[in-house]
Structure formats: C-alpha cells, structure tokens
Amino acid sequence: MSVIPYWPRASLCVTLALLLAACAAAPPPAPAGPPPVGNVALVATNASPAQAQAFDIGVLVFTTMAGNEEIARSGAEIFSQIRKTETQYLPVALRSTLTASNQWGVVRVLPAADPSMDIMVEGTIVRSDGAELVLHIRASDSTGRVWLDRDYADIARVADYPDSAPMLLDRGLTFGLDPFQDIYAAIANDLLLVHQGLAQAALDEIHNVSQLRYASDLSPEAFSRYLEEDELGFLRVTRLPASNDPLLRNVADIGARNDIFIDTIDEYYEALYQDVKPIYDIWRQYSFEQVTEERASLERARSGNSNSGSFEAISQNYNRYKWSKIFEQEFVALASGFVSETAPAVLELSRNVNGLSGPVEEQYAQWRVLLRGLFDIETEGLNATPLLNTP
C-alpha cells in the first residue's frame, strides 16, 4: 500500500481540484485508433414517425475483442465475467438512445438476428477501459444493404465520473449520463442520416422484404419464391402476395406472438442492465483511474519529469490509495454481488415461456423452431400457395 505523505487537508483538496480540472480539460492521450466522436447531440423528434417510415431495429448482443491478457490486466478474475456481461450491457445503452430519438419503430436487443427486423445492428467491442470506448458497428437492412460499417470512438473525462469514491452498497449513487453517451448518439444520428437519404420506394421495399423474409422463415416452400437477389446481391420482392391471403394472415398472427416473445427478451436485457449497472459503473471508474494514471506516468517518463514529491504525484498516490481501500473493503461484495445480481435475471425468461430451457440464446433458437411448427399446424389444409396480387 502506498504511504501518503502528510499534507494539510485544505491544500490537498485544492491541489486535487486543480488536477481534476486540468484532466477534464485535456484527457490523457489514448492509443492510436479512430478519432473520438466529440460532443454529439442526439437528433430527436417529438412526433412519432409515420408507419411507412417506422423501421424496426434489432440490436444484437455485442462481441468483444478483449483477450485473456487484457482481462488479466483488469485486476481480478471476477472482471472476466464483467467483460462478458458488457457485451449485453452496451447494446442496451445503444437501444435506449435509439428509442429516445423517437425516429424509429420498435427497437429491441436480441441474442441472434431476427428476420422480422427491418434493420439489424451488430457491434464489436474493440476497446473498453473506462477511459476510452471503441466500437465497430455494422448495420444492414433486410435487403442486405449495409448502412454502417465503421469504428466509433469516444473518450471519457474526469467530469464524466463522480467526484467522490463510489461505494458498492450505496444503491442511491447516481453516475448521471453514461460516460460514453456521445458514441451512442453518433451511431443513432448516422443511422438516421442513411434513412433520410433513401427514397420512399426504397423504404417501402425494405418493409416488404422484411415481411416476406419473416414469412419465408416460417414457410420457405410457400414464400421464398417471392424474393430474389438482384445483380448487386440485394434481396428484392418479385411480387407481393394478396393482402387477403389466408397464409399471410397466419404469418401476421404468428408475428404478433413473436413480438411478445422478443419483447420479453428485450426486457431481460434491460433488467440485466439495471441489475449490474452499479457494479459496472464502479469497475469502469476504477479502470478509468488506473488507465489515466498509467498514461500520465508514461508521459512524465517521456518528458523526464518523474518527481515523486510533486503535487501531481501526491494526488495520484492519494487516488491509488482511495481505490485500493475501496477494493480492500468491498471486493468480496463486488464479486458475490455481481453473481447474485445476474443469476436471477438469467432465469427470468424461463419463467415466462414454458417448455424453453438453457441460456437466452438457446431459448431464442428453440422459440424459432416452435413458431415454425405452430405455423405448419395452423395452416394445415390451407392452400400452400399464397394468393397473388393481380396486375
């Protein structure tokens, strides 16, 4: 444990305040990568979009590029579980931002691609250390057209975290906005920009392809013939079934049940987000402090200024001591609390849907098979070929 030199409390507080203000104005340099998105205002509207404009979006559970070495540097074995959980945590933050913009239809977090969605968003966590967040985002619509395929980066500042050391058992602690809220706003704005650049005919085509893709997933023999790839590899509708076709009505009925189920899945991820947020926030601020100190130490070494008795060194020693005490006092609670908070959420879905078992990803796959069987039973005896719209 570091020994803190004696220093009058008032002077130390002033020194810390000046140091934090300087850091807030100029965060330490981050590793090379995409430029930060900066301050981004979410483009939102009060008026809900018209039905023809309201695209449903599925945000897939993210993947991560964090390897074993990076996880080991996190400081404790429990953080390997936190690394895994943030792949489910961050998509909820993006979904909430998309929903807050009021520019879309229904936005859900899903464990796998759903053919009923107009847009699917995939994310990979390239870097996440509390000081910087880098995401690779790929978004495509139901026709196969890619909307986004790029890296987004954001840098946190001291002002993004509480001034006082957070305590795990203080459930009333409020961290305010996500330190990386700008990155989610940038993604949402870029999706909206692509959407606004499409003609109404293209938007209608996406809606129609989504409907027929979902119908084809339920009954390939009945509906797949109404979709084909064009010369660019995008799906397009060759001809629409008649609006009064009984098979299509059954597709709509099954789709309504599917909506209820995937809403339940989305609620599971939201519950998980709320459960682990206090612990994840503590880890992220802890990591921010460590990364900031490491970068500052490297900068001092490069400049030849490594005076251990300086105000800056004293302040950093104080921070190191502060965080060591937090983890000395609360690490057991941190580890056990993380498991106890997440375990009930994992069982939530099983209570709502009888006959499904296993992790959420497996339950989702089982549900898709169940719906196909249900569609076959309910359409038995109906004309296997959908009615066509007449020219």
- Per-residue pLDDT reduced to its tens digit, 291-316: 887 777 777 777 766 555 555 555 55
User: Average pLDDT in the 185-209 region?
Assistant: 97
Residue 248: which pLDDT band, with cuts at 50, 70 and 90? confident
DSSP 241: B
The position carrying tokens 């897939």 is 60
What's the Rg (C-alpha) of the chain? 25
d(CA 337, CA 330): 10
User: Average pLDDT in the 264-283 region?
Assistant: 84
Cα–Cα distances in Å, from 252 out to 119, 146, 196, 364?
A: 19, 27, 28, 19
Q: State the pairing for strand pair 119-128/63-64.
A: parallel
Rounded to a whole number of angstroms, the distance between the first and last alpha carbons of the chain is 81
d(CA 184, CA 78): 27
- The answer to whether 338 touches 276, Cβ cutoff 8 Å, is yes
Residue 230 lies in a domain: yes
Q: What is the mean pLDDT of the chain?
A: 78
- The answer to whether 139 touches 119, Cβ cutoff 8 Å, is yes
Residue 390 lies in a domain: no
Please give the tally of structural domains in the chain: 1
Residue 141 lies in a domain: yes
Residue 92 lies in a domain: yes
DSSP 24: H
Cα–Cα distances in Å, from 11 out to 243, 314, 315?
A: 76, 11, 11
Q: Which residue(s) pair with 139 in the sheet?
A: 121, 148
Residue 144: which pLDDT band, with cuts at 50, 70 and 90? very high
Residue 245 lies in a domain: yes
pLDDT in tens, 340-358: 554 554 445 445 455 676 7
* pLDDT of 169 strictly over 70: no
- The answer to whether 311 touches 256, Cβ cutoff 8 Å, is no
Closest CA to 64 of 78, 41, 43, 85: 85
Beta strand segments in the chain, E: 57-60, 63-64, 107-110, 119-128, 132-141, 146-155, 227-229, 235-237
* pLDDT of 1 strictly over 90: no
What confidence score (pLDDT) does residue 125 get? 95
- The answer to whether 227 touches 390, Cβ cutoff 8 Å, is no
Closest CA to 160 of 20, 297, 334, 293: 20
Closest CA to 97 of 175, 7, 191, 11: 191
Residue 78: which pLDDT band, with cuts at 50, 70 and 90? low
Residue 372 lies in a domain: yes
User: With the CA atoms of 292, 134, 181 and 112 taken in that order, what torsion angle do they form, in degrees rounded to the nearest 10?
Assistant: -140
Closest CA to 27 of 202, 187, 161, 190: 161
What confidence score (pLDDT) does residue 19 get? 35
* pLDDT of 37 strictly over 90: yes
Residue 384 lies in a domain: no
Residues sharing a CB contact under 8 Å with residue 279, sequence separation 6 or more, in sequence order: 82, 168, 334, 337, 338, 341
What range does the domain containing 71 cover? 9-378
Which tokens hold the place of 328? 């000395």
Burial label, 79 (beta-carbon count in 10 A; 0-12, 13-18, 19+): buried
* pLDDT of 124 strictly over 90: yes
Closest CA to 56 of 89, 5, 99, 111: 99
The position carrying tokens 């130390």 is 12
Residues sharing a CB contact under 8 Å with residue 332, sequence separation 6 or more, in sequence order: none
- Give the rounded distance of the alpha carbon of 3 from its chain centre: 40
Q: State the pairing for strand pair 146-155/132-141.
A: antiparallel
d(CA 355, CA 342): 22
Neighbours of 373 (CB within 10 A): 10
pTM attached to this predicted model: 0.80
Positive or negative torsion for Cα 218, 223, 226, 231: positive
What confidence score (pLDDT) does residue 291 get? 82
